[in-house]
Every structure is written in structure tokens, then in C-alpha cells.
Structure 1
């Protein structure tokens, strides 16, 4: 991210990896679940842990033959009914519409009309706003409103993806517009030193940050960071990581995810399978994640596994050469990495790529096509948004990306947008969201020191 289908039958299962995942999950269930349990809070739209119940292609429960309860949670945000509605909606779309629905675009400049035209013309899922698109709060609200209107004009009765990299600390694209929260490392310090009380502080801070983003018109945040940093040898993540300790990072991530959910803002834990232990910057090159499967399970994957358990709606897949899983290629374009996320960690939500404008994927001829075919659901910030949508359309039409894969991706994205439509109507944005955010940022800072 800028600083500022299920496994194919032809691919063998990752049996050793799955076994390691089951063992790790069992250990976490025995010692980790209680560690990051937060005090009880009323949940307007809880994301329950993912169900083990298998369903067939028609949505029926394979064990009982009964239709699933439409109000039952999927485990990552939307209900079973919203997911079924999303699948039915995208089933009749042509290739161009499917292609647009899985892309979050980028644009240059600050003119809201240009941003709206890009989303409306291409039928994009939405837009990611960066610092170069920002002037002041009024302009940001005008931009998000214009994109929302253009999105609605295409006949989609759900909010667009209006995302922003607003982690706190060094990665805050709304500098001078939104509250300056401390880095996520501060959250790690708070949960490590103050236990459950610290987790409440982190959760409240994430909720306040999210409500302020919603007040500006955003629907999605590209946070929290789930990477476990190795400290000084990590040139990219550093203080963006909550901790060098996997269990501490897990508690911080879980608390933040709950806070974002409390505020009805979609969130994205990143950068799977873990960017904190590599010594190169994926903005420039393809970093080597040279860890064994056992090391990944014991360190890098721990916060992501916990994120899935608490109902993360989206996971960002980074651009990493993950030697133990898919050597020599960016993880964002590797089917084996999506298998790891889905089959080993049990994630059923939206898999988002890191920005496709980064140096790590510059050598991939058609990175958006490769990522979608591999298992990504949402393609973030390609270098040329218009050209990318055209390339994806052709790939769906000629079968390079099977239509079933494109529909699966689009349906997951739409389902989460339907969740947004419902929950944003249930959770009001307070008039003093900015003041509350400022107070929450101070409380987080004070709790750490």
C-alpha cells in the first residue's frame, strides 16, 4: 500500500501447512482467545466467528439440506442473505461490469468531478484517496459525495468503496484534515502494558478514528497493520506494526478491528502473509520472505489468524516472495497464498491486493489479471485504472479469468458493500466526531506513557 476461487482441483492440497495451521489454531484457542477478550459491548452488527457449516453451490446446508438462515452472519460482516443477494446480483452482469466491480481506482489531482467520472464511467467498486487528492475537509467531503453520487447513478444500491490509508503515525493520508492519531505501535504498547483496559482504549480509538472518517464520507480504511516487525532490520513497516511479539500484535489487531466494526467502517488487516520480517521495501522491489512454514505459523500468521477469528471483513495480500509457499512470484498473484489464507486460516471475506502500482509487481505483465485469477477479490490502485478495467474485461471474456472466479470476487465485494449499507444506517455519525477523535487519540497516547 502506498505509504502516504477456492483451490483449483489441479493443485494438490497444502497438507503439511494445513496440519500446522490446525495445531496453531488449537494452541491459540487454548491460550489466546481469553487474552484479547474485550469487556462486553452491545454489537449492532456483530461479525461472529466463521462457521464450519459447509454449503453447496445453491447455498443449501450440505449437512441438512436446509436453506441457510438469511439473517445468519457469514463470520466476516454481511449476513448469509446479503451474500446470497450479492451472488444473485452479479450473476447477470457482463464482463465489463464485473471487471469494474473488482477495481478500486486511483486518480491524480483534487477535482471531485474527475474522481466521480472515473468511478461512473468504469463502474468501479470505488476509489482510494491519497494525500495528493486532498486539499481540506470541505474538498474531501465534496470528493466523497461526488463519487457516491456517480456510483449510485450506475444503479448500484450500496455505498462505494471510498478507502484511505489512515493508519495513524507515518501513514496518514489525511494529514491536516483528520485527527493525528499515534502510530499503531502505540496501540501495541497499550495492550501489552494495560491488558484488557488497554484493549478497550485501542478499540475506542479505532472506533473514534472510524467515525471521523465516516464524517468525511469514507466507507473503508486500509488498516490495521497485522505485520509482526523484526525491528531495525525492517525498513518498511517499523512503527506501523503493533509489536515484535505475535500475541501482542494479535490483541492490538483484534481490538482495532472491533472498533472499526463498532463504527460501521469496513477495515482491512494487512499485509498478508506478513511484511514485518522482510528487509526490503515492496514499494521499490519484490522483498524476500525467507521463512519456513513453521516460522510463518509461529510468527507472521498469528495476527492474521486472530483477525479472521474475530471477523475481519477484508485482508490485504502483500507483494512478497514467500519462498515457503510460492517462491519467485509476488504473493498477491500466487494462488497458493490465497489457498493459505482461505483454506488454512479459514478466511471467507474480501481478499484485497496491495497497491498494484508498486515496484514489487512492476515486472508482472498484467498484475491485475494475475491477481484476480489467483484469488484476489478487490484490485487496489492499478497504475492506469482505465486500461486495467479494459484488460480485465478482455480476460474475463476470453476465459483467462474464469467467469466463475470473477463473479465470486464481485459477489464478495458487493456483499460487504451491502453490509455497509445496512450498518451505516444503524450507527449514526456524531456531530462532534472530530472532537471525539481528538480525545481518543490523546487517551491512546497517554495510556502508552
Structure 2
């Protein structure tokens, strides 16, 4: 996938099976022989006796494979997605790996941009929000634009709705406490804390779906260092990696149950950074040992919980890829794919942030080259789309790299469509969300 690796990562078995296969094969052979059965070699074709007729076998359709992948979709959904994107032209392929930003509150403007540039969808910010009716019109218009573009899967319609200070649907959706309350609740009473955290995420997901969203750019998996952390702070669940891991895992499972795509962020960790990446490139100067022992722990837990998407930060991680934003560095994506075994959608943090705009030319192309699957909120969506198309046509971007990225995004949306279809939004979703918010606040104050 990244740096020339992982081109088939989405439908491989977990990497741990690679070294186990010979041992498993040997064990099966011994058992078969002991039982008097004919021994056959696994993963190799059995020879046919000369003169014996060959029995025709039916070729299995890979798009019908219902085996679930660790990050949500089935193998069949990923195969279907690959078939779809393989037939697209450069314009459509480039659009499917971009989630655009737009200015103002006119739903028609967002829809027109998505339709014209073939975008995967949009990220809605507080700047784009007037009231509930207008939000519903926006999400419906974007959904219609994707359908009008011939795509039979949902648009990526996302929002930063973490709870606390980062809640872009303030006044429209239920107000949840900052994610730090989840950590407090788990620290006070682990069982109850996990339950209320998961329920908060589940009801948030259902409420967002009711408003027409398909993604949430949450939960935050960063382990904060406290007062010296100016950007994350109470958005982090805890200063303790294990408590943070429990909170993030519970949240991911809650979002999954609601049929909403969650985005665990900001890999490989932003909580120990003492500057703001919105303004410029900031350093994380931990050694690799400390990074693994501290910052990576909640992300590892999220992957184990079935995280569908992980957001990659713009932090300069000295121990892995010094001197450049993490989102632009292939070794960071290799860390995510190889060390954490994450095969899902790797999303960049907003490409309009200072850490990128002040350091990187053509960041959309650079991020795809490094291993990103989905480009979030470029500073100029039209310019980003144009740069990806040009890079495809010039050969700078390998088409298979972008097809792999787009296929993962499409497969993710097929998963979201399927799960949401089996989990109807209840009529009392607002009441459930308000109850869950109160329960999280109460549990978080018990510590």
C-alpha cells in the first residue's frame, strides 16, 4: 500500500498468519495421517492421476464473498469497489479520494462542487451551519449529487462532532461532554465507564445519521500531557494510555453499532505536541520506544476494536519521519499498516492547516504518494482535484495506488450503507442521545 507496499492489503489475512501457515499445514497433515485420512498439502494444488477425468469446478465470484474484513466491509464489498473504480476515468477517480471543503451555508454550492468534481463528499463545519433544517437540506443535496453522478453508494458526509469544544453542530445536535469525561468515567468505574462511553458514541452516530451524515471525525485517541498540550487538552480521553485505549475502543464499537463511519485521530498522536499544527509544523520528539509505549496504545486498541478509518496528523514525528508532516510521510503509513495491522481507510487531517500549507507543494499528491486513501478538506478542492488528475496523467501518481485508495473509500461506503440499512434510526433518537450525554457527564464526575 504505502511506499510500494500493501497493494492487496485490504483482502489479505492479518499479517500474523504469514508465519503460522507452515505450522498449521504441518499440524493438519499429522492429524490427517493419524486419522488414516489421505494427506494433502495445504495451499498447493493436488495432482490428478493420469487418465482420470477432471471434474469441472464452479469459479467463485469474489464480489459475493461475505467474509468480513477487520475494518468493516466484506471481501465482496471490497472486490465490488475495485471493479467499480477500475472503469473510471481520471477525473472521477481523483474525486473519489477527496472530501471537499466549501464556504457559506448554501446547500446548492456544496452539491454543485461534489457533482462537478466527482468528490467523495464534504466535511461540514460550523461555518456551513445555520439550523437543523438547513443542515438536513445540505446533507440531502450532497447525497443527491453523488447519486446523480452515477454512484450507487452513499456520499462521505462528515463532521467534527467530538463533544465538548469541538462540536460543529452546536444548537443542531445533542451537546455531549468533552471526551475527557469518558476517561474519567472509566477510571472511576471501568465497567460502567466503558458502557456509557460506548452508548454515547452509538447515540451520537444514530443522531448524525438522522441528520444525513455518514461519517464522524471522532474519536480522539491522543494521549494528552495536560496543561502543556494547547491543541488537544480535554478532547483527549486521558493522560493514561490504557484508560485512553479503553475509551477509544468503546467509542469505536459504539459508532460501528450505529452504522456510522468513525475516524480515530490524530495518528500517531498529537497529545504531547506543545504547538498547534493549524498554524505550522510542530514536533513530536519522543523516541520510538516511548511512542509505542504511550501514544500508539489507543490507536492499537482502536484497530483491534474494528476501527474503519484512522486520521493521520500533520505532526513532525522525529522518531519516524523527521522534517515533514506525518500525513506526507510514507514511513508513518507503514507504521500504521505494518505495526498496527490497520488495513482500513487512512484519512489525512485537514489539508488546509498551516503545518501542510507552509511546508508542502501539492499536498494532495504528496499525501497519496505517501499512502493516504482519503484527502480531507484541501485548502482549495478544485485545485486539489486538478493536481491529482495531472499527477495521474503524468505518471507521477501510479493509477493502481489511487485505485486502491478509492476502492477502500467505496468499500467503506458500501459497508456504511449495509449496516445503516439494518439499524434503523429510532424515532426517539434525540431523547436517547440526551440521556446518553447525561449519563456520560454523571459517570465522568464520579471520579
The TM-score with structure 1 as length reference comes to 0.87
Q: Does 1:405 align with 2:398?
A: no
- 2:89 corresponds, among 94, 98, 113, to 94
Q: Does 1:416 align with 2:399?
A: no
Match of 2:170 in 1: 175
Q: What is the CA deviation profile of residues 171-205 of structure 1, one whole-angstrom value per residue up to 9, with x for unaligned ones?
A: 00001111110000001111111112210111011
- 1:287 corresponds, among 282, 285, 299, to 282
Match of 2:191 in 1: 196
In 2, are the aligned partners of 1:70 and 1:81 still within 8 Å (CA)? Answer: yes
Q: In the aligned structure 1, how far is the partner of 2:14 from the partner of 2:172? A: 36
Q: In the aligned structure 2, how far is the partner of 1:421 from the partner of 1:181? A: 26
Q: Does 1:121 align with 2:120?
A: no
- 1:365 corresponds, among 357, 361, 364, to 361
Q: Does 1:103 align with 2:98?
A: yes
Q: Does 1:317 align with 2:312?
A: yes
C-alpha RMSD of the superposition: 1.6
Q: In the aligned structure 2, how far is the partner of 1:282 from the partner of 1:440? A: 32
Q: Does 1:440 align with 2:436?
A: yes
Which ranges of structure 1 fall in alignment gaps of 5 or more residues?
10-48, 55-61
* 4+ aligned runs moved over 6 Å, structure 1: 64-69
Q: Per the alignment, in what secondary structure is the counterpart of residue 128 of structure 1?
A: strand
Which ranges of structure 2 fall in alignment gaps of 5 or more residues?
6-12, 19-41, 46-58
| Displacement of 1:8 | 2.7
| Displacement of 1:431 | 1.4
| Displacement of 1:236 | 0.3
1:57-96 matches, within 5 Å, as: 63=43, 70-96=65-91
Match of 1:346 in 2: 341
Alignment size in residue pairs: 399
Match of 1:384 in 2: 380
1:208-247 matches, within 5 Å, as: 208-247=203-242
Match of 1:249 in 2: 244
Change (3 A) 1:217 1:80: same
| Displacement of 1:52 | 4.5
Match of 1:426 in 2: 422
Q: In the aligned structure 2, how far is the partner of 1:319 from the partner of 1:443? A: 34
Q: What is the CA deviation profile of residues 219-274 of structure 1, one whole-angstrom value per residue up to 9, with x for unaligned ones?
A: 00000000000001111000000000000000000000000011000000000000
| Displacement of 1:63 | 4.3
Q: In the aligned structure 2, how far is the partner of 1:7 from the partner of 1:272? A: 18
Q: In the aligned structure 1, how far is the partner of 2:278 from the partner of 2:431? A: 34
Q: In the aligned structure 2, how far is the partner of 1:102 from the partner of 1:167? A: 23
| Displacement of 1:53 | 5.1
Q: Per the alignment, in what secondary structure is the counterpart of residue 270 of structure 1?
A: strand
| Displacement of 1:148 | 0.3
| Displacement of 1:64 | 6.4
| Displacement of 1:6 | 3.4
1:257-268 matches, within 5 Å, as: 257-268=252-263
Change (3 A) 1:95 1:64: farther
Match of 2:54 in 1: none
Bigger Rg over Cα: 2
In 2, are the aligned partners of 1:51 and 1:74 still within 8 Å (CA)? Answer: no
Q: What is the CA deviation profile of residues 344-386 of structure 1, one whole-angstrom value per residue up to 9, with x for unaligned ones?
A: 1100000000000000001211111000110000000001101
Q: In the aligned structure 2, how far is the partner of 1:64 from the partner of 1:378? A: 37
Q: Per the alignment, in what secondary structure is the counterpart of residue 335 of structure 2?
A: helix
